[in-house]
Structure 1
Amino acid sequence: MKYTTEKKQTIVLYILEKIVAETQSLSKVVAETFNISTNTVHTYLNELIEKGIIEKQKRGKYNLVNTHNEYTFKRSAGDLISDTLPYEVCLEKEIKHLGENVRRIWSYGLSEMVNNVIDHSNAENMKVIIIQNYLKTYVLLMDDGVGIFEKIKNHFDLPNLDEAICELFKGKLTTDEANHSGEGIFFTSKMMDVFLISSSGKIFTSSKFEDDNILDISSKVKGTCVLMSLSNFTHKTPKEIFDQYSDIEGSFITTRIPLKNIFDAAPVSRSQAKRVCNRLEKFEEAILDFDGIEWMGQGFAHQIFVVFQKAHPEISIVPQNMNDSVESMYNHVIKTN
């Protein structure tokens, strides 16, 4: 039976996703899912092998084939002048076959991160590593400059690196207000499927990431390591991401703070709440994402939803993804004040 190109692509993507997930009895699972024969599945697998998309490890086991390219840029050689150069030299040719929306996201994201290296890191060397398979593209950007968290901590006279990471989640944070809006990391982190910054033994990430090999690489970087990953088939666009956090005129008015990425345990204290609230007056709306937070203390909740809210009634504070325990404490402090 011949399938439409769209149907065949759906089956192929499903096969590849199951390979990544190390699904047992791969052929049987695919055959049952699409109501096709295992012989048909084997035909697809052989085609993927012939095209160099996957490789067979042993009976019934396959891996996606990754390409790996590295590039080095030196400030002394005049390489660290243009923030678009690494995209044009390293990445553009690797993603030219992908959708325009994917190319735009990568153009924006990589250029913004390179600009941070050029203008803020004082780095002499920058390395770009591109790893790609049929499903995803990964970009690692590493420099030997001043670590980003250390730079933020020192510039804003913050007590520790954790405070610097907390501020970074909010956006509108820059050590050079005359020349930068402080939006690059915020919006890039929202566009990517995976976004991670490693520096000074600390990690900033807006997503779950458990690849020990990548984390091992980043831990050895002297300055800052940025990891970005995006599906080659994503439907996201830069515009829709900007629109989520901007008003009708395009101004950056909304921030989203994933609390589980800031606190190692349940937030309980007023001092923790003050960390969250710092600089929120720069926004009209602050979305506090409680996903992964099991409970919160009364002091933490009261400081944000009563004390800060009364002091800044013009700011809309929106809690999201609260479980029953968190919502109960939220309702408690709201109703008792």
Structure 2
Amino acid sequence: MSMRFSSEKKRSIILYLLEKIEQRVENPSKIVSEAFNVNRNTVHTYINQLVEENIIRRQKRGIYELVDNSFDYIFLKSKNEIKNETQIYNKTLKEHIEDLPQNVKEIWEYAFSEMVNNVIDHSDSKKLFISVKKDYLKTMVFISDDGVGIFEKIKKHFSLASLDDAICELFKGKLTTDKENHSGEGIFFTSRLMDDFAIFSSDKIFAIDKFDTSNIINVFKASEGGTFVVMKLSNYTHKKSKEVFDKYSDAYGGFTKTTIPLKNIFDASPVSRSQAKRVLNSLDKFEEIVLDFSGIAWMGQGFAHQIFVLFKNQKPNIKITPVNMNEDVTKMYNHVINTRQD
């Protein structure tokens, strides 16, 4: 006979069970029963309930997968349908997240509106495709258009040397090709609110973390040209929009701080002054810059000196904080800041 638990404990067991199923572990009932010290029959009862409720489906003996539902939409400029992000949100994502907690709905409403607004205002797109994919644990949204391509647009507008320079600028925030109507914060904050976020365009990718492209790369290749945005968020996230905004704001609510993950900008360890200048370009808009060195094995003297000595002397009011430096990076950092420049 299965044991009876409080609804809170049962919910914890079920969420853990679903996570293990999503991770495709073999024999999830054994792992869950050991983790929560419950008998296997109880876990099997929960599995059967989840199958009956169409939350999971059995693939083969002992192997299950989450059931997801997909919803696809298309909007055409010729029908005057690509003009209002709120209307598009109401026609697409809104109904599918109605049952989620308020903090999750607020994040989605902000992120979705910002990304669709970019298409409306910047892309000159004739078609907008939106796909919503939801299972019990998470929701994914795919937004694609057939416009000019976001990286190409930024490169052209700011007369940058390459598409990589355009992507580098996006990591910083406050980048906009339309100062009258946009603050340039949308992509920056959306990328930090989501669990996974990526933009594909012109055979390039912008992502805060190394993005697993395996499950969506075919979709991207199918949509030639334009821009393809992928967003993923747990239906049970504890993130709150306000906390993420506050993390990068001052006491008056201004967007004053930025974090730059260097591993996403450089394929190898950065060495030169020109690479440093690429990172520093337009950063004088901020009061505090956090340079994240995780995944960076080493940095060259020219790169370090340009950032931590020259830029610091030129802009003494801007605080630069390096984080996640390994031993070799720390040595070079200490070398340049402790060497007298006569």
Band of TM-score, shorter chain: over 0.9
Correspondence for 1:90: 92
Runs of 4+ aligned residues of structure 1 deviating over 6 Å after TM superposition are none
Does residue 250 (structure 1) correspond to residue 274 (structure 2)? The answer is no
Amino acid at match of 1:13: L
Amino acid at match of 1:186: F
Amino acid at match of 1:65: V
CA contact (8 A) 1:30 1:41 kept: yes
SS at match of 2:128: strand
Correspondence for 2:235: 232
CA contact (8 A) 1:67 1:131 kept: yes
Deviation at 1:24, TM superposition (A): 2.4
Correspondence for 2:318: 315
Amino acid at match of 2:281: N
Correspondence for 1:295: 298
Correspondence for 1:121: 123
SS at match of 1:84: helix
Amino acid at match of 1:50: E
One of 324, 328, 332 as aligned partner of 2:327 = 324
* TM-score, normalisation: structure 2: 0.97
* TM-score, normalisation: structure 1: 0.98
SS at match of 2:14: helix
Amino acid at match of 1:284: E
CA shift digits 1:199-222 (9 cap, x unpaired): 000000012321413122123322
Deviation at 1:194, TM superposition (A): 0.6
Q: Distance in 1 between matches of 2:332 and 2:221?
A: 38
CA shift digits 1:158-184 (9 cap, x unpaired): 000000000011000000111111011
Number of aligned residues = 337
CA contact (8 A) 1:174 1:180 kept: yes
Q: Distance in 2 between matches of 1:151 and 1:209?
A: 23
Q: Which moved more, 1:287-296 or 1:19-28?
A: 19-28
Q: Distance in 1 between matches of 2:152 and 2:212?
A: 24
Identity %: 58
One of 171, 174, 196 as aligned partner of 1:194 = 196
Deviation at 1:298, TM superposition (A): 1.3
CA contact (8 A) 2:125 2:146 kept: yes
SS at match of 2:118: helix
Correspondence for 2:133: 131
One of 334, 337, 341 as aligned partner of 1:334 = 337
Correspondence for 2:161: 159
Correspondence for 2:23: 21
One of 235, 239, 244 as aligned partner of 1:241 = 244
Amino acid at match of 1:326: V
Q: Distance in 2 between matches of 1:80 and 1:249?
A: 34
Aligned Cα root-mean-square deviation (Å): 0.9
One of 146, 151, 166 as aligned partner of 1:149 = 151
CA contact (8 A) 2:210 2:264 kept: no
Q: Distance in 2 between matches of 1:120 and 1:77?
A: 18
One of 240, 245, 265 as aligned partner of 1:262 = 265
SS at match of 2:297: coil
Correspondence for 2:177: 175
Deviation at 1:189, TM superposition (A): 0.6
Q: Distance in 1 between matches of 2:231 and 2:64?
A: 25
CA shift digits 1:54-113 (9 cap, x unpaired): 000011100001111100011111111111122111111101110101000000000000
Q: Distance in 2 between matches of 1:5 and 1:11?
A: 10
Gaps of 5+ in 1: none
CA shift digits 1:110-134 (9 cap, x unpaired): 0000110000000000000001110
Q: Distance in 2 between matches of 1:115 and 1:9?
A: 37
Amino acid at match of 1:30: V
Q: Distance in 2 between matches of 1:216 and 1:332?
A: 47
Correspondence for 1:64: 66
Q: Distance in 1 between matches of 2:197 and 2:213?
A: 13
Q: Distance in 2 between matches of 1:329 and 1:245?
A: 28
CA shift digits 1:140-160 (9 cap, x unpaired): 000000000000000000000
Q: Distance in 2 between matches of 1:9 and 1:230?
A: 19
CA contact (8 A) 1:199 1:219 kept: no
Q: Which moved more, 1:320-329 or 1:105-114?
A: 320-329
Q: 1:196 to 1:298 in 2, by over 3 A?
A: same
CA contact (8 A) 1:192 1:230 kept: yes
SS at match of 1:217: helix
SS at match of 2:174: coil
Q: Distance in 1 between matches of 2:221 and 2:165?
A: 20
